Homo-oligomer: A and B are copies of this chain.
Amino acid sequence: MKNRFQYKKLRKVLTMPSIVSRLSIMVATAACFSSCNTIKEHKSSSLVIKEQGSFMVGGTKVIQPGTFDVQDALKPDGQSFHGDHAYAFYQIPEDASRLPLVFLHGAGQSKKTWETTPDGREGFQNIFLRRKFSVYLLDQPRRGEAGKSMVEATIKPAADEQFWFTQFRLGNYPDFFTNVQFPKDSASIEQFYRQMTPNTGSFDANIITDAVSAVFDKIGDGILVTHSQGGGPGWMTAIKNSNVKAIVAYEPYSGFMFPEGELPQPISSTGLFGALSGVEIPLADFQKLTRIPIVIYYGDNIAESPTTIWNSDHWRSGLAMAKRWAEVVNKNGGDATVVHLPAVGIKGNTHFPFSDLNNTEVADELSKWLKQKKLTIQ
């Protein structure tokens, strides 16, 4: 009873996508430990940016019935309202790889996710610019700079940060996990809390997918990098738009899609979202996910078997679903890899591996995969 109440409450807070799903595996077995192929960073050297800028993309509009009268300009009659677009900030380095990285944040986050880390180090934006990738950082519709929403929303300040500390696996508040790759000083934790930013309209995976697809219509071929709740719209974007040439997903949870007839049983969990279900989609749509390389990463402190420690068990269900999903993708001729980072020697990561203390090691792991899949071509 209590759990049900909490679950409903949480759903409301998060406006998680209702699409959720099954999955299949492939914990990366061919582990290359961080000592091999580490890419040299030149943090003190300048970034040479051939082009940078921003744009709004996708979205819809409505026009109020009637006729606009400039003499009565506060009446909505005949006036328009544009909304539900995404915002993109992009940077193209000199001698860029052909395929840009397009970054989509997770729940309660914005493009800030990929920028400077809470303790002031370089995030994936700079790290991959240095590795010669063009980067596109998105604010999804109804978030951040893309705040114009086609639906009304009420935003309330809610004291919830110790929940997020725990849900995002910094530890079990107030304790940090002993091996956690998160800075423990209060200034860093404050930055982490402040980088959350609310929805200005309810979460809608279809609307996000349409806008992210519009990004790929505009820029052409690219690699989509998603985080957490961005995972679901990520799969949907790849189904919708063949310009998505690969997907990198950090800790997706909901939104795993299975072909009709192959939907697995929900995975029960003591996590605060309860059991995790997949989403059934037509085989023809699913097959589009088998035509591109996909890699999924999970961090540390995720239970290996069911436990009553809710954060650890929540992500256990996510990881298990990811493995099941990758199995189905690969059985259908696809190329999906699930990397549980501790299994390849990268320990202590939170729900935000790309901004953790060891994020260059995490980036090295991604660089290795991109190279392996020939996604680093000029």
Contacts and interface: CB of A to CB of B under 8 A. Distances in A.
Interface in A156-204: 156-163, 166-167, 172-174, 190-191, 193-198, 200-201
A120 interface: yes
Nearest to A309: B70
A166 B70 contact: yes
Interface in A117-162: 120, 122, 126, 139, 143-162
A163 B75 CA distance: 9
A50 interface: yes
Nearest to A197: B147
A89 interface: yes
A32 interface: no
A21 to B, nearest CB: 24
Interface string A246-290: 000000000000000000000000001000000000000000000
A94 interface: yes
B145 A145 contact: yes
A315 to B, nearest CB: 15
Interface string A194-238: 111110110000000000000000000000000000000000000
A31 interface: no
Contact of A49 (B49, B144, B153): B49
Q: How many copies does the complex hold?
A: 2
Among the interface residues A83, A94, A145, which one has the most CB atoms of the partner chain B within 10 A? A145
A148 B157 contact: yes
Interface stretch (A53-61, A322-330, A334-342, A363-371): A53-61
Interface stretch (A108-116, A295-303, A345-353): A108-116
Given A53-B120, A79-B163, A147-B198, 17 more contacts: A6-B72, A13-B74, A46-B48, A49-B49, A54-B115, A73-B173, A73-B272, A74-B163, A74-B272, A79-B160, A80-B161, A81-B158, A81-B161, A89-B115, A110-B147, A147-B147, A148-B194
20 contacts: A9-B74, A46-B49, A47-B48, A47-B52, A48-B49, A49-B49, A62-B157, A70-B172, A73-B163, A74-B160, A79-B161, A83-B194, A111-B145, A144-B197, A147-B197, A147-B198, A148-B196, A148-B197, A150-B157, A155-B200
Interface of A: 6, 9-10, 13, 46-50, 52-56, 59, 61-64, 68, 70, 72-74, 76, 78-83, 85, 87, 89, 94, 110-112, 115-116, 120, 122, 126, 139, 143-163, 166-167, 172-174, 190-191, 193-198, 200-201, 272, 310
